[in-house]
Amino acid sequence: MSSVELGKPVPDFEAQATGNQTIRLSDFRGKNLVLYFYPKDNTPGCTTEGQDFRDRMDAFAELNTDILGASRDGLRAHENFRAKHDFPFHLISDKDETLCKLFDVIKLKKLYGKEYLGIDRSTFLIDGDGLLRNVWRSVKVKGHADEVLEAAKTL
């Protein structure tokens, strides 16, 4: 499976998400979609990022834009994370890394001198026709949700 390309259609995908549902990209046709990948539930940066998107949910909704978060955490962890922080959007569990590979977000990382493969915090803005319109990689959390919101205004 090749990875996504800016300006090209994103292949339809299917993934398990909170709310006991199977999500498909095709479910969002006619709406814009923010798909953000984050390393791990209940860690400081990931919590802040989710809260920032949550706090701007109404502004995104006014722009006909939905939000989905995705990580390799399981559904139980996602359900707890979502409930604890009142996220109004769903979280995708990508334990087998199918979606991570499609969006090419698995990168070699270092922590305390050890190398491991992990999710590189990344966000993708997909328009209502399924075209990839914006990509942010190696995201810094502060101000990111506002930047994505500004980009959504141009669609």
Residue 97 lies in a domain: yes
Q: Which token pair is 100?
A: 């991570």
CA–CA separation, 105 vs 124, rounded Å?
A: 11
Q: How many domains would you assign to the chain?
A: 1
Of the residues 15, 46, 119, 149, which is catalytic?
46
Q: Which residues span the domain enclosing 146?
A: 14-152
Q: Kindly state the tokens that stand for 48.
A: 């802040």
Q: Is residue 1 part of a domain?
A: no
- For residue 5, is it within any domain? no
Report if residue 7 sits inside a domain.
Answer: no
For residue 80, tell me if it sits in a domain: yes
pTM of the model: 0.95
Instruction: Say if 122 falls within a structural domain.
Output: yes
DSSP 49: H
What tokens appear for 120 in the block? 């590189």
Region 84-110: mean pLDDT is 95
Q: Which residues pair with 14 in a beta bridge?
A: 24
Alpha helices in 1-143 (DSSP H): 44-55, 57-62, 75-84, 98-102
CATH of the domain at 58: 3.40.30.10
pLDDT digit string (tens) for 28-57?
999 999 999 999 999 999 999 999 999 999
Please say if 100 is a catalytic residue.
no
64 domain residue, yes or no: yes
